[in-house]
Structure 1
Amino acid sequence: MSDHLGPYELLSRLGAGGFGEVHLALDPEGRTVAVKVLHPHVAADGAALARLSREVETMRRVGGPHVAEVLDASLEGARPYLVTRYVQGRPLSAVPVPVADLRLLASGLADALAAMHDAGVVHRDLKPANVMMSEGEPVVIDFGIASAFDSLSVTASGAVVGTPGYLAPEVLEGGEAGPEADVFSFGATLAYAATGRHPFGQGPPSAVAYRVVHHPPDLDGAPAWVASLLAECLDPDPAKRPSAGEILARLGTAPERRPRRAAFRMGSDRPRAGRAGRAGRAAREDVDVHDSVTREWRPGTGPRGGQVEESRARHRERVRRRWLVGSAMFMALLAAAARGPLPEVALFLLAAFTLGGVADAGVALLSRAPLRRGRIIADLVAVAGAVGLCFGLSAVFSTFTLALFAGTALVVGVVFLLSA
């Protein structure tokens, strides 16, 4: 049974961080969004919530294809939450590194920083885990949240405000986190993507923080065109770091901006007129990309109702194909074992399997399922494979050996079903 939080229907848990759990959800119009539900110990800090409430309006002014915009927030009640655009993809921390198209990543991250800084927002916790990758394009998430919760009571409650190794040295030494601190985090994140290593190594947070303050970053293996830029971004002196706009100019990229669409009212139950916003090259679907945008699920639009339903259909089809391959192999083993002593039984088994496969292909042919072509091909290949495998096995192995194989396969299948 699905859970509801305000006007949002929570579909599934996507993950958790220092400040809350993130859920895939549907808004009142059936569009997919990401809802971050704050942890109880975070929600108990009234001062931090008041600060976040003041900053949300500023955060909502940040727009662009490389940021996950803040759409809504409800910071009152037992379960305060923030709503952002849902970005389908994997975090940079979970994709293979070094990244293939490093220039595309660098340009996207710099554009995201420029959008935030132009709106007066400092991310404060930019790191690979907060950069979602979709078709090679980065989308920055969770901007502004760490700054809002930089209070003693929240920190004492267990939320980590920032990540050593990606926090600027002035922040680690107790200074203010300004746009220059984000540039340092940008350099550390890009260095990780370029070399496949954390620029200040790994280990206890205190040891990593010490290296950030007192040691130069590890940039060995970074391409020559980006090494000098990384060195400037990771300069210990904030005044010597380039701005986001200067980084874009160095990369030869113009900032990508788009007008903000009507968003949600703070804590409201219904959105204003207009859609929550699309973003160029911000997310991919399981099957293909349409205009390189984050897909918004509206019931009745797209194949089988949209992205979520199509994803479920693809999962069901993968499971069905596994069962189809397994049953075809098992039926071929049984028929091959019976072909010598009981040829009628072998013929019956093959005929039954063929009839079932043809019937399933016929049902798929008459249906309007988006994956029907693959289903039909899988059915016909399974039937042909079972018949061919039966005759091949009976020509190579004895009846006793085939019966032993079939019995073993049956036992393994039963054990697998019980364990599943």
Structure 2
Amino acid sequence: MSDHLGPYELLSRLGAGGFGEVHLALDHEGRTVAVKVLHPHVAADGGALARLAREVETMRRVGGTHIAEVLDASLDGERPYLVTRYVQGRPLSAVPVPVADLRRLAAGLADALHAMHEAGVVHRDLKPANVIVTEGEPVVIDFGIASALDSLSVTASGAVVGTPGYLAPEILEGREAGMEADVFSFGATLAYAATGRQPYGQGPASAVAYRVVHHPPDLEGAPEWLEPLLRACLSTEPAARPTAAQICAKLGVAPVSHVRHVVPPQPVPVVRSRSAGDDLETREWRPGQERHRRSVEESRARHREKVRRRWLIGSGLFVSLLAAAAREPWPEVALFLLAAYALAVVCDAGVALVSRGPYRRSRMIVDFVSVAGVVGLCFGLAAMFSTPVLALFAGTALVVGIVFLLSA
């Protein structure tokens, strides 16, 4: 039995981090999203939640191809949660390294860094585990959460605010940290992808942190075109590190403004699922429109009705072609095809008559119109085209239908 959290239906647990568990979920229109449910010790910290709530609006302004956008948030209930775009892929920490297409990865990470900093958001926990690689492109997740929840009470409760080896020296030393800290984390993450090794080695967290502050990074094996940039990003002095815009310029990435303009009051965007190769689009709704939203069940019924109509139209066209091609040499076959199609559609209309679905009336109308349309189209095609031409059309339609089914 699925769990519901607000308007979201939680489907399966994807993983957990220092601040919460991530679930694959469906929004109210049946589209996939990622829901991060905060851990109880984080949810119990009122100060941390208040700080996160103030940061959410800024976080939601961050957009772009290489960012898992924040779509929604509810931080005042018993189970506070954040909703982001769901990215299907594997974290950089789980893919083979060194990465084969390193230039593509570097360009994508630079674009994500520029998008965050352009909107005024500091990630604070950029690392391989927070970079999802999907179809060769990196997508940064969990941006801004660690920065917003960096409070003494949350840290004391057990949440790990950052990962040694990817945290900048100023953070480890307790100094004030800003966007320069993300540049350091960017360099460490890219160094891992380029060499296949942790840039500051492995071992106890305290030992790794000591090496970050007092020792240079291990960049042996990094490409010549990338090593100077990595050393600049991993400088112990924040002022010596390049900005996100400078990183993009050195990598030949043209910075594009990704700031999303959010219309008050507190609009909550939702994401549309996509198939491979489609561009992602987002839409926004306002809280005053909640009563007009469809439930997941209603959305599924609407989708089923759309698919049924497509099958009805497609099969009707194919039957009319076959019947028109067979009308002259085998009129009995043509009559049989039309009668079989009409019988199947009438049975479907009968099911619609006894059902209580929301599309009952329109379903019956479409059924009867399709029968009349198929019969009329059959006689029209038979009058306009010869039997060989109609047979060729029917064969082509069959091949196209099979290819479409296999690709779907």
TM-score, length of structure 1 as denominator length: 0.66
Q: Give the deviation of 1:291 after TM superposition.
A: 2.6
Matched, 1:147 2:134: no
After superposition, what is the alpha-carbon deviation per residue over 1:162-211, rounded to whole angstroms, capped at 9, x for unaligned? 00000000110001221100000000000000000000001110000000
Matched, 1:231 2:231: yes
Structure 1: stretches of 5+ with no match in the other structure: 306-364, 375-420
After superposition, what is the alpha-carbon deviation per residue over 1:312-359, rounded to whole angstroms, capped at 9, x for unaligned? xxxxxxxxxxxxxxxxxxxxxxxxxxxxxxxxxxxxxxxxxxxxxxxx
Structure 2: stretches of 5+ with no match in the other structure: 284-295, 308-397
After superposition, what is the alpha-carbon deviation per residue over 1:291-310, rounded to whole angstroms, capped at 9, x for unaligned? 354899974669x98xxxxx
Change (3 A) 1:157 1:292: same
Q: Secondary structure of 2:103's match?
A: helix
After superposition, what is the alpha-carbon deviation per residue over 1:55-97, rounded to whole angstroms, capped at 9, x for unaligned? 0001011111111111110001210000011111110000000
Match of 1:60 in 2: 60
Cα RMSD of the aligned pairs, angstroms, is 3.0
1:5-404 paired onto structure 2 within 5 Å:
5-258=5-258, 260=260, 271=268, 276=271, 289-291=276-278, 293=280, 299=300
Q: Give the deviation of 1:257 after TM superposition.
A: 4.0
Looking at structure 2, the residues matched to 124 and 164 of structure 1 have their Cα atoms a distance apart, in angstroms, of 12
Q: Secondary structure of 2:225's match?
A: helix
After superposition, what is the alpha-carbon deviation per residue over 1:117-165, rounded to whole angstroms, capped at 9, x for unaligned? 1111100000000000001100000000001111111111110000000
After superposition, what is the alpha-carbon deviation per residue over 1:246-281, rounded to whole angstroms, capped at 9, x for unaligned? 000001111244573868975x8xx56xx5378xxx
Match of 1:321 in 2: none
Looking at structure 1, the residues matched to 78 and 108 of structure 2 have their Cα atoms a distance apart, in angstroms, of 37
Looking at structure 2, the residues matched to 196 and 144 of structure 1 have their Cα atoms a distance apart, in angstroms, of 26
Q: Secondary structure of 1:50's match?
A: helix
Looking at structure 1, the residues matched to 34 and 264 of structure 2 have their Cα atoms a distance apart, in angstroms, of 14
**Aligned AA (2:252):** G
Looking at structure 1, the residues matched to 136 and 207 of structure 2 have their Cα atoms a distance apart, in angstroms, of 32
**Aligned AA (2:93):** S
Change (3 A) 1:294 1:97: farther
Looking at structure 2, the residues matched to 163 and 186 of structure 1 have their Cα atoms a distance apart, in angstroms, of 13
Looking at structure 2, the residues matched to 249 and 290 of structure 1 have their Cα atoms a distance apart, in angstroms, of 27
Match of 2:333 in 1: none
Q: Is the 8 A contact 1:15 1:22 kept in 2?
A: yes
Q: Is the 8 A contact 1:18 1:160 kept in 2?
A: yes
Looking at structure 2, the residues matched to 245 and 186 of structure 1 have their Cα atoms a distance apart, in angstroms, of 13
Q: Is the 8 A contact 1:72 1:265 kept in 2?
A: no
Q: Is the 8 A contact 1:261 1:277 kept in 2?
A: no
Q: Secondary structure of 1:189's match?
A: helix
Q: Give the deviation of 1:372 after TM superposition.
A: 7.3
Q: Is the 8 A contact 1:72 1:263 kept in 2?
A: no
Change (3 A) 1:259 1:124: closer
Looking at structure 1, the residues matched to 9 and 157 of structure 2 have their Cα atoms a distance apart, in angstroms, of 29
**Aligned AA (1:31):** R
Change (3 A) 1:294 1:137: farther
Q: Is the 8 A contact 1:65 1:257 kept in 2?
A: no
Q: Is the 8 A contact 2:165 2:199 kept in 1?
A: yes
Looking at structure 2, the residues matched to 92 and 370 of structure 1 have their Cα atoms a distance apart, in angstroms, of 35
Q: Secondary structure of 1:225's match?
A: coil
**Aligned AA (1:68):** A
**Aligned AA (1:205):** A
Q: Is the 8 A contact 2:169 2:213 kept in 1?
A: yes
Change (3 A) 1:223 1:77: same
**Aligned AA (1:82):** L
After superposition, what is the alpha-carbon deviation per residue over 1:30-76, rounded to whole angstroms, capped at 9, x for unaligned? 11110000000111110000000000001011111111111110001
**Aligned AA (2:83):** V
Change (3 A) 1:265 1:162: farther
Q: Secondary structure of 1:33's match?
A: strand
**Aligned AA (2:237):** D
Q: Secondary structure of 2:218's match?
A: coil
Q: Secondary structure of 2:227's match?
A: helix
Looking at structure 2, the residues matched to 193 and 165 of structure 1 have their Cα atoms a distance apart, in angstroms, of 14
**Aligned AA (1:290):** G
Looking at structure 2, the residues matched to 177 and 369 of structure 1 have their Cα atoms a distance apart, in angstroms, of 58
How many matched pairs? Answer: 301
Match of 1:2 in 2: 2
Looking at structure 2, the residues matched to 259 and 295 of structure 1 have their Cα atoms a distance apart, in angstroms, of 14
Q: Give the deviation of 1:22 after TM superposition.
A: 0.2
Change (3 A) 1:32 1:262: farther
Change (3 A) 1:301 1:249: farther
Q: Secondary structure of 2:193's match?
A: helix
